[in-house]
Amino acid sequence: MKNLIITICCLFITTGTCLAQAAHFTTSGIIEFQKKSNMFALITKQIQNEDDSWWTKPFEEYKKNNPQFKYSKSTLKFGNNKSLFTPIEDEEKRSNFLNVEMANQHSTIYSDFNTGMSTAQKEVFEQTFLLKDTTRKINWKITDETREIAGYTCRRANAIVMDSIYVVAFYTDKILVTGGPESFTGLPGMILEVALPHENVSWIATKVTDTTIPENEIVPPKKGKAVNKQTYKETLDKALKDWGRWGHSYLKAFML
């Protein structure tokens, strides 16, 4: 009888521990992201329909001396239902065969999900803009597909942004802040992976640290010319209007 009581108690303790672990939600911490850019594919798109006799040789030389994929790092601090996405400057300097803007990281982004507002500091060539507006509204379609990312079970969602860019995201409802890398937000939990299959870039969380972040570490950037989304786009349209297809690819990268 005594052994039976001990066994039952152990079962209750084990079950309670499992339930407590299963019910754990993260509300504050730091996520480390890695951006992956397929440089061969991005450059191919950039130079398509150009004069092959000029581009073929330098592109072949580039492929011999550079890896196919470029990797960049960034962090996302979150807490108090706010987040701050910050790119980390690349340590490795690569060949500047082409300035493929889609592979670069231009933005430091603060999001306040209590107010639905964001502040993005964007580097555009030699100029810095401070874009203040509402957080991006994305019409997500949640699916049943799941995968494990940085120790979290994540569910897939799909969307179209900027009228034509197809987005695949994976989010976890165990992190309650509804943010994500860059300006990708709006799912019922934290986005830990974003892929733009047709743009040949993706972001994935490599590490999640559950820790308390002081309020003074999640604050909006302050440097740059203050604009809203409409003014920012109009400025880019005017600057890039004579750049043709190249200008369109730059515009996508700067607006993302």
| pLDDT computed for residue 4 by the predictor | 39
Alpha-carbon distance of 117 to 182, in angstroms, equals: 14
Alpha-carbon distance of 138 to 87, in angstroms, equals: 22
| pLDDT computed for residue 146 by the predictor | 98
For 56, phi then psi, to 5°, come to -55, -50
Report CA 132 to chain centroid distance, whole Å: 18
Order of all β-strands in the sheet with 152-161 = 141-149, 152-161, 165-172, 190-196, 201-210, 29-38, 69-79, 82-88, 107-112, 117-124, 127-134, 225-227
| pLDDT computed for residue 241 by the predictor | 86
Residues of the chain with pLDDT under 50: 1-22
Q: Tokens representing 106?
A: 């231009």
Does this model's pTM top 0.85? My answer is yes
